[in-house]
């Protein structure tokens, strides 16, 4: 369960860090990298919600 919560946080953090103004221009993400990281973050959120719904509360 911890992994399911950590992975969306990691994807969003990487998306933010690799696009902020403090990152040198040569190291920033391109459009394709941003799209792929956004898709991965969305997938992780969906998988997290599914895993949390399957928990025996």
Q: State the pTM of this model.
A: 0.76
Instruction: Look at the chain and report how many structural domains it folds into.
Output: 1
DSSP string, 12-26: HHHHHHTTSTTS-GG
Looking at the predicted structure, is the pLDDT value of residue 20 above 70?
A: yes
What is the number of other CB atoms lying within 10 angstroms of the CB of residue 34? 14
Q: Give pLDDT, residue 30.
A: 93
Mean local confidence (pLDDT), 23-29: 92
Mean local confidence (pLDDT), 23-27: 92
Record the tokens describing residue 49, joined without a space.
Answer: 């919600």
Q: Give pLDDT, residue 7.
A: 83
49: Cα separation from own chain's centroid: 14
Domain that holds residue 47: 2-53
Q: Give pLDDT, residue 21.
A: 93
Looking at the predicted structure, is the pLDDT value of residue 12 above 90?
A: no
């Amino acid at each position: 369960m911890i992994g399911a919560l950590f992975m969306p946080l990691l994807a969003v953090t990487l998306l933010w860090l690799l696009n902020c103004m403090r990152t040198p221009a040569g190291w920033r993400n391109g459009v394709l990298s941003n799209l792929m990281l956004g898709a991965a973050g969305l997938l992780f959120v969906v998988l997290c919600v599914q895993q949390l719904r399957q928990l025996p509360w």
